[in-house]
């Protein structure tokens, strides 16, 4: 009988066990199948399972010598339900695609499988990833395991919940306006938005779309670095993709390299933030002083972020989804319709202005990193909110103009082209997790992971997950 205590092990430990033959990929699939049966009905994180396919892949992998099974060596990984997996239902959270079974996987999935990943499930997402609350008309809402009356955020909400509840050791997600960082913050796990091109994926709608990127999620920084290593590398089908680094990200995370000068901003100068979230993130940031770092309050000028992101996001929705608006409007949720219509109304002058704003913000941010090694800020402006609320309508007395604006603290960093992660940094008085956003200059994942690992050690929150789902208290 397979040992269910394996769900509590780190991914790095499990991969070591796979390499030595102490466990097999089939053992791990048995553990996960049982764990999902025990807890997923309470949280709805992994609505699509493909264990038969996973076992076929695992058996094929086990025919190879242990040294040739790739970085992940047979580690199971769920894929977010925006990304194609060959032969597996891929709905994008939309009724339009409720029966869609692609014939070919995204190159991201092929890359993971080549590196020894075994795909066993698809994680829940809002329709087309729109909106940072994971619910859709196909599978319903994903619930936060720390309090099942609360949101898991999004759009990689299913992935974050699977990790937090022990239904995954590692998970894939994606991020345009915080979709790896928001759910990581709400669920008490780690999610990383990498630099543009770090993770190759199949281009859709435009070759050079770069607001959205693919990235890793895990329960701790070293596990996150392991998955980033397995995801990284160039591919000719993705012209923006970067070569894998000479030194692994896992080695960088374990290097002990400490930042010398840290900037903390409670709001990046652009958004309200709940006072409790400010206090928790500030306290965590200040603890970098224990590693000898200077911690100062500062941030680059990101004042154009709201206008810029609104335009570029709308433009992205127009080029990728306008055909669906013309043919399937009645099957789209209101927020998606709004996004596409906003995009179709844009003038060339608006797009020109937004692109120039992005260039300017990126330049100012690069200059800022001449002084600071890392920039820290809240990863979300509120603690997990009630799951039935579609989005955050107001915060600290400010009402937002639209359903996306509450995400400014993360999408500003998207616009500046920086890698950023959310690290668990504490809990509210009611016991809900809060994430600290940690940001490095473009292509600075190595220093980001090293600094995050140092702070993770100081904060001592590494083993807070996995948990059993908890009902509202």
179 in catalytic set: yes
The one catalytic residue in 105, 123, 155, 320 is 155
**Phi/psi-derived region of residue 394, left when phi > 0, alpha when psi is between -120 and 50, beta in every other case:** beta
Q: Under a CB-based contact definition with an 8 Å cutoff, are residues 425 and 189 in contact? A: no
CA nearest to 151, candidates 389, 333, 336: 389
Q: Under a CB-based contact definition with an 8 Å cutoff, are residues 217 and 159 in contact? A: yes
Q: At what angle do helices 221-231 and 107-114 cross, to 10 degrees?
A: 110
Q: Under a CB-based contact definition with an 8 Å cutoff, are residues 61 and 118 in contact? A: yes
Burial of 286 per CB tally in 10 Å (0-12, 13-18, 19+): middle
CA nearest to 92, candidates 57, 131, 50, 136: 136
| Phi, psi of 86, deg, nearest 5 | -55, 130
Q: How many CA atoms lie within 13 A of 101 on its CB side?
A: 6
Report residue 192 CA to chain centroid gap.
6
Element (H, E) at 421: strand 420-427
CB atoms within 10 A of CB 366: 15
Q: How long, in residues, is the chain? A: 473
Element (H, E) at 458: helix 445-459
265 in catalytic set: no
Q: What residues are paired with 394 via a beta bridge?
A: 399
DSSP-derived secondary structure letter, 138: T
The one catalytic residue in 123, 151, 179, 195 is 179
Q: Under a CB-based contact definition with an 8 Å cutoff, are residues 29 and 58 in contact? A: yes
What span, in angstroms and rounded, lies between the C-alpha atoms of 224 and 439? 15
What 3-state DSSP class applies to 145? Answer: coil
DSSP-derived secondary structure letter, 335: H
Beta strands in 6-103 (DSSP E): 48-49, 75-80
Q: Cα separations (Å) of 164 from 31, 40, 109, 212?
A: 16, 11, 22, 24
303 in catalytic set: no
Q: What residues are paired with 293 via a beta bridge?
A: none
Q: Where are the alpha helices (DSSP H) in 115-165?
A: 157-164
CB atoms within 10 A of CB 321: 22
Catalytic residue numbers?
80, 155, 179
């Amino acid at each position: 009988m397979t040992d269910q205590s394996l769900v509590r092990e780190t991914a790095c430990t499990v991969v070591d066990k796979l390499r030595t033959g102490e466990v097999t990929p089939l053992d791990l699939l048995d553990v996960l199948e049982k764990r999902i049966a025990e807890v997923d009905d309470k949280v709805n994180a992994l609505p699509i399972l493909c264990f038969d396919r996973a076992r076929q892949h695992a058996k094929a992998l086990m025919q190879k010598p242990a040294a040739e099974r790739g970085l992940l060596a047979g580690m199971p990984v769920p894929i977010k339900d925006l990304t194609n997996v060959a032969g597996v239902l891929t709905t994008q959270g939309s009724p339009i695609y409720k029966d869609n079974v692609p014939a070919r996987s995204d190159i991201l999935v092929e890359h993971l499988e080549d590196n020894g990943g075994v795909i066993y499930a698809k994680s829940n997402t809002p329709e087309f990833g729109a909106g940072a609350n994971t619910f859709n008309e196909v599978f319903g809402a994903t619930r936060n395991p720390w309090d099942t009356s609360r949101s898991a955020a999004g759009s990689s909400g299913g992935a974050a919940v699977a990790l937090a509840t022990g239904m995954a050791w590692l998970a894939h997600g994606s991020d345009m306006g915080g979709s790896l960082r928001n759910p990581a913050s709400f669920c008490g796990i780690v999610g990383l938005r990498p630099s543009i091109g770090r993770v190759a994926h199949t281009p859709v709608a435009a070759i050079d779309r770069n607001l959205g990127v693919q990235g890793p999620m895990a329960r701790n920084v070293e596990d996150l670095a392991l998955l980033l290593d397995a995801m990284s590398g160039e591919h000719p089908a993705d012209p923006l993709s970067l070569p894998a680094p000479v030194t692994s990200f896992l080695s960088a995370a374990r290097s002990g390299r400490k930042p010398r000068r840290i900037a903390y901003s409670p709001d990046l100068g652009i958004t309200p933030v709940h006072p409790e979230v400010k206090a928790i993130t500030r306290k965590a940031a200040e603890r970098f002083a224990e590693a000898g770092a200077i911690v100062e309050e500062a941030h680059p000028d990101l004042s154009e972020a709201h206008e810029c992101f609104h335009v570029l996001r709308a433009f992205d929705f127009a080029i990728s989804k306008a055909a669906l608006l013309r043919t399937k409007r009645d099957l789209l949720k209101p927020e998606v319709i709004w996004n596409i219509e906003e995009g179709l109304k844009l003038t060339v002058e608006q797009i020109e202005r937004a692109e120039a704003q992005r260039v300017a913000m990126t330049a100012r941010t690069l200059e800022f990193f001449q002084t600071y090694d890392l920039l820290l800020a809240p990863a979300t402006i509120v603690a997990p909110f009630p799951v039935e609320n579609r989005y955050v309508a107001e915060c600290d007395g400010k009402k937002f103009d639209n359903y996306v604006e509450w995400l400014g603290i993360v999408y500003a960093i998207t616009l500046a082209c920086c890698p950023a992660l959310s690290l668990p940094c504490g809990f509210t008085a009611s016991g809900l997790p809060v994430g600290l956003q940690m940001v490095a200059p473009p292509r600075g994942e190595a220093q980001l992971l090293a600094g995050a690992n140092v702070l993770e050690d100081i904060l001592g929150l590494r083993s807070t997950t996995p948990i059993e789902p908890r009902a509202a208290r």
